[in-house]
């Protein structure tokens, strides 16, 4: 069985501050890991992905995430947030044989205060 | 970017009635999915569909559920009859490939069963 845990349901940060969203996964095989974001009144969008190789992956809009096999984690970071980063962020797990059957975390709602 | 459209955005129906949720996937995508999110819970895989057939379904995909995409029109999820526990947001997604984890999602159709 596989699972994804996002321990923070809500995070509030001030504009310009740094942001880190935590994600832990459980999977015995080789994981494919993603962060998806849902902005208000929009569908989920892919922010970044990790398949293998360099554990730090870059995404759109200045986001990056770091994979740690030893910690079973895939935390998301941004150095300086903008008000437009207010959204719900989902950590997602799958594998190369899962047929795009994704396992979602519950999501972290981020509110950026001006 | 490419968009997945879902109709309706919200539907309220009485228990036992039939409902059809419609999805207009990204053109030229071949793989289609439905995911279900009950309020306060994680989004969960329901079914994937390729080449006119259901490829895999989860235990959430009850006998009362069916999917089809007749002749390139909407990809639909039909529930007949509905039950109270079917109240959820249903997300449609599409993909150009089978195992990359990169899906395009719609905004969701919120179903309320009374």
Is A104 within 8 Å of B106 when comparing Cβ atoms?
A: no
The closest of A33, A29, A22 to A77, measured between CA atoms, is A22
Spans of all domains in chain A: 3-113
Token pair for B23: 């999805």
Is A100 within 8 Å of B1 when comparing Cβ atoms?
A: no
**Residue range A3-113, CATH number:** 2.60.40.10
Residue range of the domain that includes B38 = 25-107
> What pLDDT, in 10s, does the model give residues A1-41?
899 999 999 999 999 999 999 999 999 999 999 999 999 98
CB atoms under 10 Å from CB of B85, counted, come to: 11
> What pLDDT, in 10s, does the model give residues A56-90?
999 999 999 999 999 999 999 999 999 999 999 99
Provide the pLDDT for residue B76: 97
Provide the pLDDT for residue B72: 72
- pLDDT tens digit at each of 114 positions of chain B: 789 999 999 999 999 999 999 999 999 899 999 999 999 899 999 999 998 899 999 999 999 999 999 877 899 999 999 999 999 999 999 999 888 889 999 999 999 999
The answer to whether the CB of B95 falls within 8 A of the CB of B69 is no
Domain count, chain B: 1
Chain A CB contacts of B44 below 8 Å: 104
Provide the pLDDT for residue B99: 83
Provide the pLDDT for residue B94: 95
- Gyration radius from chain B CA atoms: 13
In-domain check, residue B67? yes
- Gyration radius from chain A CA atoms: 14
CA distances from B85 to A63, B9, B25 (A): 37, 19, 26
Chain B CB contacts of A98 below 8 Å: 99, 101
Whether the pLDDT of residue A96 is over 90: the answer is no
Give the number of A-B residue pairs with CB atoms closer than 8 Å: 66
Is B100 within 8 Å of A106 when comparing Cβ atoms?
A: no
- Taking the CA of residue A1 and the nearest CA in chain B, the distance in Å comes to 13
Provide the pLDDT for residue B61: 97
- Taking the CA of residue A42 and the nearest CA in chain B, the distance in Å comes to 5
- Chain A contact residues (CB < 8 Å to B): 4, 32, 34, 36, 41-46, 49, 90, 92, 94, 96-107
Provide the pLDDT for residue A1: 83
What percent of chain A lies above the pLDDT cut of 90? Answer: 89
Provide the pLDDT for residue B73: 84
Distance CA A90, CA A88 (A): 7
**Could you tell me the CATH number of the domain that includes residue B77?**
2.60.40.10
In-domain check, residue B58? yes
Chain B CB contacts of A45 below 8 Å: 1, 105
Of residues B11 and A42, the one with the higher pLDDT is B11
Task: Please tell me what DSSP assigns to residue B64.
Answer: T
* B61 alpha-carbon distance from chain centroid: 10
Provide the pLDDT for residue B13: 97
Provide the pLDDT for residue A56: 97
Chain B CB contacts of A92 below 8 Å: 101
């Amino acid at each position: 069985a596989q699972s994804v845990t996002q321990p923070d349901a809500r995070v509030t940060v001030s504009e310009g501050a740094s942001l880190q969203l935590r994600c832990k996964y459980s999977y015995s095989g080789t994981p494919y890991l993603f962060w998806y974001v849902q902005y208000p009144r929009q569908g989920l969008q892919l922010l970044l992905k990790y398949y293998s190789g360099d554990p730090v992956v870059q995404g759109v809009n200045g986001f990056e995430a770091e994979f740690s096999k030893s910690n079973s984690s895939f935390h998301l970071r941004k150095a300086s947030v903008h008000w437009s980063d207010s959204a719900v962020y989902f950590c997602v797990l799958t594998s190369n044989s899962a047929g795009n059957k994704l396992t979602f975390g519950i999501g972290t709602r981020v509110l950026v205060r001006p | 970017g490419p968009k997945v459209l879902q109709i309706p955005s919200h539907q309220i129906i009485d228990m036992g009635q039939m409902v059809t949720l419609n999805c207009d996937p990204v053109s030229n995508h071949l793989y289609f999915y439905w995911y279900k999110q009950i309020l306060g819970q994680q989004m969960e895989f329901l079914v994937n569909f390729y080449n006119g057939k259901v490829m895999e379904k989860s235990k959430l995909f009850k006998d009362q559920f069916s999917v089809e995409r007749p002749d390139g029109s909407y990809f639909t999820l039909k529930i007949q009859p509905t039950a109270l526990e079917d109240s959820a947001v249903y997300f449609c997604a599409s993909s150009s490939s089978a195992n990359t984890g990169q899906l395009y999602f719609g905004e969701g159709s919120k179903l309320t069963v009374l």
